[in-house]
Amino acid sequence: MNATTRRLSSIDLVRRVTQAACAYTVARLRILESIPGNPMGVAITSIEGVTALMARHLPSAPSFNSVVGLRPGQAHLIAPLVDWYQDHGVAGRFEIAAGDDDPVLARALSRLGFVPEICHAAMVGEPTIEDAEAACVERVTSPEQMEEFLTAYVLGWGVPPARHEPFKQNVRPWLGQPGWTLYLARVEGRASAAAILFVRAGVGYFADVATDPAYRKRGLHAALLARRAWDARAAGADIICGGADFLSGSQRNMERIGMRLLFLRSIWIAGR
């Protein structure tokens, strides 16, 4: 990274990063929604710039059942959104970025039985100006590569074997989506890790990465980060960003390529 051009932290930058991550999730949900009959129960609503996402038949994907973009002065939206989720039998959650949090939002969520249970790191940086080509990483451009990408993806995320083919069928449309670039990393020729770069409004979002457990700790995550940071510039991004569990190995890998912590996101979940 070019440290001399490091962008100063600001609420505008926080919101650009938040909007890019939300736009990626919306794009994923729209793909699922397009399946005939909408079997995943996808619904998306937007109120005063706040986006509420729902995939009521995918409870194992909590980010698909989240409210994103709440800001100070919008506590009045919380109760209607809770009702919207409850009307559909879904336990929604609320993601609030540091900088957009305030005591009024916290009190409104607490009164309705929500508690902050997860702290998620949002990382940011400049697209690299150094060539980050790696022999083990390739862009996915063909249906044949896509099948290998999907195999690495389901193994990396631990999708149960019985769900492999249904999952792959649902996400094959990722190939060729506007703003998406898919990547495949290999070890000794075998598809071992998969990753996604999503570019929107000048932001390169490191959307997803998954490594087959048999090939972890071989530098694949770092190689995929570096390649996406390089390609983001060519795709017109002026910043790159991604999320990670706070103080995780993923966060440390992002720091190694010059990214830094921009903010922490608190995730409020209905109390049990």
- The residue ranking higher by pLDDT, 2 or 207, is 207
The count of structural domains within the chain is 2
Burial-class residue 231 by CB neighbours within 10 Å (0-12, 13-18, 19+).
buried
Please tell me the pTM assigned to this model.
Answer: 0.91
Same domain for 114 and 158:
no
- The residue ranking higher by pLDDT, 227 or 128, is 227
Give pLDDT, residue 95: 96
Give pLDDT, residue 59: 64
Same domain for 204 and 106:
no
4 pLDDT exceeds 50?
no
Least confident of 35-44, 55-64, 110-119, 153-162: 55-64
Q: How confident is the model at residue 63 (pLDDT cuts 50, 70, 90)?
A: confident
Indicate the Cα dihedral angle 169, 175, 155, 228, nearest 10°. Answer: -160
Which residues neighbour 150 within 8 Å (Cβ) at sequence distance 6 or greater?
167, 168, 171, 172, 194
Q: What is the 3-state secondary structure (H, E, C) of 239-268?
A: EEEEEEECCCHHHHHHHHCCCEEEEEEEEE
Section 86-105 average pLDDT: 92
Residue 106: alpha-carbon gap to chain centroid: 24
What span, in angstroms and rounded, lies between the C-alpha atoms of 208 and 105?
29
Same domain for 145 and 64:
no
The answer as to whether 202 is a domain residue is: yes
The answer as to whether 255 is a domain residue is: no
23 within 8 A of 8, measured Cβ to Cβ: no
What span, in angstroms and rounded, lies between the C-alpha atoms of 52 and 86?
13
Same domain for 174 and 102:
no
pLDDT one-digit tens code per residue, 229-247: 999 999 999 999 999 989 9
Same domain for 18 and 114:
yes
- The residue ranking higher by pLDDT, 108 or 117, is 108
76 pLDDT exceeds 60?
yes
What span, in angstroms and rounded, lies between the C-alpha atoms of 251 and 240?
14
Strand ranges, E, within 48-140: 50-55, 66-68, 93-97, 114-125, 137-139
The answer as to whether 245 is a domain residue is: no
User: Considering 65, 91, 121, which residue would you say is the last residue of a domain?
Assistant: 121
User: What Cα–Cα distance (Å) separates residue 113 from each residue in 100, 117, 185?
Assistant: 20, 12, 43
What span, in angstroms and rounded, lies between the C-alpha atoms of 270 and 19?
24
The answer as to whether 49 is a domain residue is: yes
The answer as to whether 186 is a domain residue is: yes
Same domain for 66 and 165:
no
Section 42-62 average pLDDT: 90
Q: How confident is the model at residue 2 (pLDDT cuts 50, 70, 90)?
A: very low
131 pLDDT exceeds 70?
no
193 within 8 A of 209, measured Cβ to Cβ: yes
Same domain for 190 and 90:
no
What span, in angstroms and rounded, lies between the C-alpha atoms of 198 and 207?
6
Q: Which residues of 242-256 are buried (b: 16+ CB within 10 A; e: fewer)?
A: bbbeeeeebbebbee
The answer as to whether 252 is a domain residue is: no
pLDDT one-digit tens code per residue, 11-51: 899 999 999 999 999 999 999 999 999 999 999 999 999 99
Same domain for 207 and 182:
yes
Same domain for 99 and 53:
yes
Give pLDDT, residue 135: 67
Same domain for 174 and 88:
no
User: Considering 90, 121, 152, which residue would you say is the last residue of a domain?
Assistant: 121
- For the chain, the average pLDDT equals 92
The answer as to whether 127 is a domain residue is: no
Section 64-71 average pLDDT: 95
Instruction: Give percent helix, percent strand, percent coil of the chain, each to the nearest 5.
Output: 40, 30, 30
The answer as to whether 132 is a domain residue is: no
Same domain for 92 and 199:
no
pLDDT one-digit tens code per residue, 134-145: 668 999 999 999
119 within 8 A of 246, measured Cβ to Cβ: yes
Q: Which residues form the domain of 173?
A: 137-237
pLDDT one-digit tens code per residue, 175-185: 999 999 999 99
